[in-house]
Structure 1
Amino acid sequence: MSEIIQTTVAGRTLKVDYGKVGKLSDCAMFISYGDTVVLINANSSDKPREGVDFFPLSIEYEERLYSVGKIPGGFIKREGKPTEKAILHARAIDRPLRPLFPKGYRNDVQVVCTVLSVDQDNAPDILAINGASLALCMSSIPFTTPVGAVSVGLVDGKFVINPGLEQREKSSLNLTVCATKDRVMMVEAGGDEIPEDVMYDGIMYGFEECKKIVEFQEEVTKKYGKDKIEPVLYKVDEVIEEKVRDFAFDMIKNAMYVEDRDKRNEALNDVDGKLDEQFSEEYPDNKADISDVVYRIKKEIVRNMLLKEHKRVDGRAFDEIRPISCEVGILPRTHGTGLFTRGLTQVMTVATLGSLGDVQILDGVSLEESKRYIHHYNFPSYSTGEVRPLRGPGRREIGHGALAEKALEPLIPSEDKFPYTIRLVSEVLSSNGSTSQASICGSTLALLDAGVPIKRPAAGIAMGLITSEDMSREEILTDIQGLEDFFGDMDFKVGGTEKGITAIQFDTKIHGLSKNCIRETLKKARTARLFILQKIHDCIPEPRAELSKYAPKTFIMSIDPDKIRDVIGAGGKVINKIIAETGVKIDIKEDGKIFVMSDDTASAKKALKIIDDLTKEVVVGEIYLGKVTKTTNFGAFVEILPGKEGLVHISKLDFTRVNKVEDVVSVGDKILVKVTDIDNQGRINLSRKDAIKDSEKKDSKVKDSKAK
């Protein structure tokens, strides 16, 4: 039977329709908030997946364009691969849920969130996180700790839960908070340079609302949830674990205490070779078990080193940043480049400037149709010294690129101030932790090198955490490297300027972060960020005064919006002719602003003059240099401006009597004419005789002035 359960969140009804749809799924439901509706389906495999050393959780976020009354663009009129935003939303659902499954659980689990209807005041991504959590709790899948999620805005200095469209447009903060009833599990934020204390208060404000949603999920699960299956948890054979520990623990510990990364890896490879010699014959089918034991030994050693000895793997203090270097102008023909190196992490960002017509067109369920600032992030195999096929960007690459884009977006100049489309591409050349934050730094360098007048430079830092088993002790690490990320408890990324935070993304491998941990991490991240910003300033203190000679130049003019049709012409004939003749790019806005872009200034000015002539009004009494387009027995027709033609009557061609028009002018001749009259039908009357007379008077005045 169908059951409808509802509660109130931020003054609006959150409704769950359970038992009506998806009868063959372990759990399926409609979850709605306002007119936004998401279908949630949760399922798992009957048995653990063989041969894997990870939990195979799959979160899918499917956008249907019918949800906003759209038909997909392009030739194939159906949805294809997920949009970038859909991928980001899927990652945001995955991160808080994954740590809450039982350790060692290896069954395939899939949660599919299908967006069916979208009311722009109520975001479907936030609804999907709550729906995924509730569906897993109500299913037979061994997931028992619900999470709640809300968005938080900051409008006129006040926090707003789940802001509507109008409020989002006014908000200086776009914050997503996801939490259990005890701790914060995940935060994503973009902001207009938000101070640390305000960001912390915003997170806590969202946390309190999340608790209410969790209580609702607990009540619904208690009443309608299925009995949980007893999970089969992966566990290493105790005999194998004991033998591997006895044989390899001290060797692994000695290797892990080597501060130099290359020498440490070499020592660990030697240990792997000895393990293979020792156990390959005795346990030929248990390589995965042996690897798992080695992993847990490494993790135990690193965590003990940090918690008990207060020592980092590379010997740094807990708040110490790896050596930093900054360079700009690396590549000769690009519009701007920045090379940022922090320890063994190195990112090069390349900036490209294009016309406003180069904006990225978006085809999704949001109202955003295009964007003129684009950031892409590439993480090739060579960045970690590995060999694997090069494919298109995965979810991680898309996520890191979006995070860096979010960090810099509030600092990008407006279209009016800087009329260019801006694309940044961050190439990870070497990776040992925190490449997404290095890409923020490299991108800042590239923007400054390209001459983009950004509001202020930005930098990013990744913070880590190690906790004791009972979570009573918390050690925060600044600028985590690979091993600390791999064996640590959180990856807390913070990007921003000297003024405040522009982006946050954090997730955790444990059951959430304490309030004190969040507060202290934000504070220490600011100290680190200011240190990095000084390094950037030392390299390039401000944007270059001039764009690269290889960057296109943009010229702006304004015309009467009613004249736009004259510039475009029927079927685009006029504007295409201008482009073909001058080789420029032209973008026209509805308010009459025209942007002409070209590598060649002369070509741009030629196009501007053509447009100016096309839109210029004919003025009575003005003299024009026109072209004879047609002769008749009563006069000559002369084009004085593009598309604007007038008649010189035969009596106005010369001072003496003219018997035949062709005795004075021929088709194709360029002659001076004066506008004598525009009649009530818009017909233009011209005079060659008056133009010559006025020109002679002008020349006479010039000669008299010189003689004196």
Structure 2
Amino acid sequence: MTYHKSEVDWNGTTLSIETGNWAKQAHGAVVYRYGNLVLLATVCAEKEAREGQEFFPLTVDYREKIYSVGRVPGGYFKREARPLEHETLTSRLIDRPIRPLFPEGYFCEVQLLVTVLSADPEVSIEGHAIAAASAALGVSDIPFHGPVTGVLVGRKDGKLIADPSKSEVQAGDLELLVAGSKDAVMMIEGGAQEISSEEMIEALDFAHQKIKEKLAAQEKLIAEVNPDKREVALRKPDLSIREKVKEKFFAPLEQANSNKVKSDRSAAVDAVYKDAVEFVQSELLEGKEEKEAEAIVKDIKGYMHELEYLVVRKSCFEQGIRADGRKLEEIRDISIELDVLPGVHGSAVFTRGQTQSLGVVTLGTGDDYQKIETLSGERHKHFMLHYNFPPYSTGEVKRMMGPGRREVGHGNLAERALKRVVPDKADFPYVIRVVSEILESNGSSSMASVCSGSLAMMAAGVPVPRSVSGIAMGLIMGDNNDYCILSDIAGIEDHFGDMDFKVAGTRKGITAFQLDIKVKGLSVEILRAALSQAEKGRMHILDKMEAAIAEARSDVSPNAPRITTIQIDQDRIGELIGPGGKVIRSIIEKSGADLNVEDDGTVTIAATSSEAAALAQKLIEDIFREVEVGETYDGTVKRIVDFGAFIELFPGKEGLLHISKLAKERVNSVKDVVDLGDSIKVRVLGVDQFGRVDLIREDLADEFAASGAGSSGGGHRSGGGDR
């Protein structure tokens, strides 16, 4: 294998892709370098499809090595284990723009691996990982209609930036990952701080221009390698049988698909499928060899699948009516229920057609955050959304397992949509966990999760400024570059359509978006039309949501913990902790609240009642209160000595009430006037340079002051240091 390398300048840094040096037994392998980032992308494919294979088995795995940033993995085994959530999400990001570019009918198993060997904490990897994967396929002998690449777009101070640093992304209001070829956009993923549709289109157009520039490195390398692509027998249908099946079963399939209820439609379609199999077996297999006949029967499902696509397309283009009877822009019926679970902190059920999501919000305390280890270091996650898709939601029987890639991806999208309106930790110091339980599913369940999550947060008293709604847009492409855009797609339209474009946001603007396609790319014009139609749909959904709950409730649920934060001087944290934790334990025991002290002096108080939280706050504030001269305090006698009594003004602060200031008349013994534990009202006469406090009984203070007697700290002249 000959060594080849291509280089381009990208953002003032050399971007290079090389092949023929590492992993030479893989069917395609490249080393991708950008600054300190080094990726190894490899691809291997079976020579033939498995017998009976009816789909394209592509596996994409993205893995990060902890050694890439000079660290040893944590945990007992000290090695990388199962993929982390963000690795799963990145694997999906690579898969989505690449999968549509394999030839139709190519069913050989393909495994694509992208490994991070060296990382730069300031470089976002996802777009480069897509490019590396495409390059590995491009230099291989595997049939692939690429190349594609990914570009991350950020925006800071109104200026769009291609592949910005992580610092620039965090400082900006847009994080948009776009993948595409030189001709079209193929995938979109991202979030934004409530941007307009026009701003989104501008960013997409900018991204596509940058994609064309970034593709130069791949195009140069692939041209140099000039690989001979393997010849593979693609699965091709028997055209004569396909036409006979179409002629006989198009009308019955059209009738079956007109059922508005998903379960009725599925049953009717299954019956037509069964009739088609019986028809082919009884009338069209005469004279066919056994193997050929078996292959034809297996192909019937594919024929019927094509027919269903034609049925869906015909209805949209000829009548402007969809399978369930809706117009192209029509949203399914929406119903909303609030506070459906009495024991939780916030709950809502959002139903749109036959898709239903139960949103549940739990408010946690400071220690409930999720700790995440990434190549950039450890971070704490205070807002999270988890999406669950049980088999009963589609009337199926399946094994219950942990969340799969789809559930992780859908949850991440809904989380991104809501994250932009979640208040800062400083303003709302709770950890917020939203769970979406999909109770029914017939399309757009991730967007239903956005709606139920937004409603549940408002019901829980999370001070979000605005409601967030989400909608899934579909596309049916025609033969002459004409198209139909569908609002709020149902399951059949997701399955047979050419696009799934999810858009979420508030009345102010877009907060999250995701695009998946089954064609080889979409023009910016189509995306512009889809965004415009999506905005109308989102506003309709927001009308329904705001009618149910217009703004967040003024207080959190009575079931939720009460959290208060106060700020103390960093240098005085030790005073709150006390020797061996004595002081902080005392506050916890007295109040029943939990305390969390951060290094910057932020103290978080979490309690089951407002009273407990208020008591803990008072006990903390008392530690740092300063005694003020002239102020009156309700004190407690803590110690008695020959020359007076030491009075606790508040926890941690004492002063001396000298025997001469206990009464008008001469006092022979302190105990003649006060005893240990007595409550006594005292006034502060003064505080000396050593912080010693001089007190007098409140009922003697005015007369004492009028006589001109006393001086600041004077009461400590005899034994005042005995404390």
> Structure 1 length as normaliser, TM-score?
0.90
Residue by residue over 1:530-584, the C-alpha shift from the partner in whole angstroms, topping out at 9 and shown as x without a partner, is 1111111222222223332222223343333322222233454433442343222
User: What is the distance in 1 between the residues matched to 2:578 and 2:341?
Assistant: 41
Residue by residue over 1:59-117, the C-alpha shift from the partner in whole angstroms, topping out at 9 and shown as x without a partner, is 11112233334444455533333222222111111100000011222222122112233
- Kindly state the Cα deviation for residue 161 of structure 1 after the two structures are TM-superposed: 0.8
- Kindly state the Cα deviation for residue 524 of structure 1 after the two structures are TM-superposed: 0.7
**Which residue does 1:30 correspond to in 2?**
31
**Which residue does 1:525 correspond to in 2?**
534
- Kindly state the Cα deviation for residue 336 of structure 1 after the two structures are TM-superposed: 1.8
**2:189–2:514 Cα contact (<8 Å) kept:** yes
Q: 1:696 to 1:431 in 2, by over 3 A?
A: farther
Seq. identity, %: 42
| Residue from 596, 608, 611 that aligns with 2:620 | 611
- Kindly state the Cα deviation for residue 523 of structure 1 after the two structures are TM-superposed: 0.8
Give the 3-state SS of the residue equivalent to 2:519 in structure 1.
coil
**1:38–1:124 Cα contact (<8 Å) kept:** no
**Which residue does 1:48 correspond to in 2?**
49
Is 1:550 matched with 2:559?
yes
Is 1:118 matched with 2:119?
yes
**Which residue does 2:709 correspond to in 1?**
none
**Which residue does 2:714 correspond to in 1?**
none
- Kindly state the Cα deviation for residue 155 of structure 1 after the two structures are TM-superposed: 1.7
| Residue from 693, 699, 702 that aligns with 2:700 | 693
Is 1:502 matched with 2:503?
no
Q: 1:506 to 1:4 in 2, by over 3 A?
A: same
Give the 3-state SS of the residue equivalent to 2:434 in structure 1.
strand
Is 1:294 matched with 2:304?
yes
- Kindly state the Cα deviation for residue 588 of structure 1 after the two structures are TM-superposed: 3.6
Equivalence map 1:280-679=2 (5 Å): 288-366=298-376, 369-469=379-479, 472-570=481-579, 572-619=581-628, 622=631, 624-627=633-636, 639-645=648-654
Give the 3-state SS of the residue equivalent to 2:299 in structure 1.
helix
Amino acid at match of 2:448: A
**2:114–2:133 Cα contact (<8 Å) kept:** yes
Give the 3-state SS of the residue equivalent to 2:447 in structure 1.
helix
Amino acid at match of 1:512: G
User: What is the distance in 2 between the residues matched to 1:618 and 1:696?
Assistant: 22
User: What is the distance in 1 between the residues matched to 2:277 and 2:261?
Assistant: 24
**2:476–2:498 Cα contact (<8 Å) kept:** yes
**2:277–2:300 Cα contact (<8 Å) kept:** no
- Segments of 5+ residues of structure 1 without an aligned counterpart are 699-708
User: What is the distance in 2 between the residues matched to 1:57 and 1:621?
Assistant: 80
**2:664–2:700 Cα contact (<8 Å) kept:** no
Amino acid at match of 1:96: P
**2:126–2:150 Cα contact (<8 Å) kept:** no
More deviation, 654-663/366-375: 654-663
User: What is the distance in 2 between the residues matched to 1:280 and 1:645?
Assistant: 99
**1:434–1:480 Cα contact (<8 Å) kept:** yes
Equivalence map 1:56-205=2 (5 Å): 56-205=57-206
- Kindly state the Cα deviation for residue 611 of structure 1 after the two structures are TM-superposed: 0.4
Give the 3-state SS of the residue equivalent to 1:46 in structure 2.
coil
**2:32–2:39 Cα contact (<8 Å) kept:** yes
- Kindly state the Cα deviation for residue 302 of structure 1 after the two structures are TM-superposed: 2.3
Amino acid at match of 1:491: D
- Kindly state the Cα deviation for residue 280 of structure 1 after the two structures are TM-superposed: 7.7
User: What is the distance in 2 between the residues matched to 1:210 and 1:120?
Assistant: 23
**1:73–1:363 Cα contact (<8 Å) kept:** no
User: What is the distance in 2 between the residues matched to 1:499 and 1:661?
Assistant: 71
- Kindly state the Cα deviation for residue 353 of structure 1 after the two structures are TM-superposed: 1.9
More deviation, 623-632/2-11: 623-632
**Which residue does 1:14 correspond to in 2?**
15
User: What is the distance in 1 between the residues matched to 2:60 and 2:196?
Assistant: 33
Residue by residue over 1:252-277, the C-alpha shift from the partner in whole angstroms, topping out at 9 and shown as x without a partner, is 34322334433322222323444566
User: What is the distance in 2 between the residues matched to 1:571 and 1:265?
Assistant: 68
User: What is the distance in 2 between the residues matched to 1:19 and 1:652?
Assistant: 95
**Which residue does 1:705 correspond to in 2?**
none
User: What is the distance in 2 between the residues matched to 1:7 and 1:122?
Assistant: 17
User: What is the distance in 1 between the residues matched to 2:204 and 2:236?
Assistant: 37
More deviation, 336-345/306-315: 306-315
Give the 3-state SS of the residue equivalent to 1:60 in structure 2.
strand
**Which residue does 1:704 correspond to in 2?**
none
Amino acid at match of 1:476: I
User: What is the distance in 1 between the residues matched to 2:189 and 2:137?
Assistant: 22
Amino acid at match of 2:327: A
Residue by residue over 1:637-656, the C-alpha shift from the partner in whole angstroms, topping out at 9 and shown as x without a partner, is 55544344556667766677
Amino acid at match of 1:516: E
Q: 1:642 to 1:75 in 2, by over 3 A?
A: farther
Amino acid at match of 2:66: L
**2:622–2:652 Cα contact (<8 Å) kept:** no
**2:100–2:520 Cα contact (<8 Å) kept:** yes
Amino acid at match of 1:406: R
Q: 1:614 to 1:73 in 2, by over 3 A?
A: farther
More deviation, 371-380/350-359: 350-359
**2:663–2:700 Cα contact (<8 Å) kept:** no
Residue by residue over 1:192-250, the C-alpha shift from the partner in whole angstroms, topping out at 9 and shown as x without a partner, is 11111111011011101111222331221111253221123234566875775576554
Residue by residue over 1:321-344, the C-alpha shift from the partner in whole angstroms, topping out at 9 and shown as x without a partner, is 111222222222222222211111
User: What is the distance in 2 between the residues matched to 1:20 and 1:600?
Assistant: 66
Amino acid at match of 1:344: Q
User: What is the distance in 2 between the residues matched to 1:275 and 1:4?
Assistant: 54
- Kindly state the Cα deviation for residue 608 of structure 1 after the two structures are TM-superposed: 0.9
Q: 1:224 to 1:482 in 2, by over 3 A?
A: same
**1:37–1:124 Cα contact (<8 Å) kept:** no
- Segments of 5+ residues of structure 2 without an aligned counterpart are 706-723
Amino acid at match of 2:171: K
Residue by residue over 1:445-495, the C-alpha shift from the partner in whole angstroms, topping out at 9 and shown as x without a partner, is 1122222222221211111111135x6222111111111110111101111
User: What is the distance in 2 between the residues matched to 1:285 and 1:663?
Assistant: 111
**Which residue does 1:706 correspond to in 2?**
none
- Kindly state the Cα deviation for residue 631 of structure 1 after the two structures are TM-superposed: 5.6
* Cα RMSD after superposing both structures: 3.0
Residue by residue over 1:284-310, the C-alpha shift from the partner in whole angstroms, topping out at 9 and shown as x without a partner, is 965643333332332233233333454
User: What is the distance in 1 between the residues matched to 2:586 and 2:78?
Assistant: 33
- Kindly state the Cα deviation for residue 622 of structure 1 after the two structures are TM-superposed: 4.8
Give the 3-state SS of the residue equivalent to 1:451 in structure 2.
coil
Amino acid at match of 1:18: T
Residue by residue over 1:497-522, the C-alpha shift from the partner in whole angstroms, topping out at 9 and shown as x without a partner, is 22221111001001011222111111
User: What is the distance in 2 between the residues matched to 1:81 and 1:668?
Assistant: 62
User: What is the distance in 1 between the residues matched to 2:80 and 2:584?
Assistant: 34
Q: 1:595 to 1:310 in 2, by over 3 A?
A: same
Q: 1:619 to 1:257 in 2, by over 3 A?
A: closer
Q: 1:290 to 1:574 in 2, by over 3 A?
A: farther
Give the 3-state SS of the residue equivalent to 2:501 in structure 1.
strand
**1:17–1:30 Cα contact (<8 Å) kept:** yes
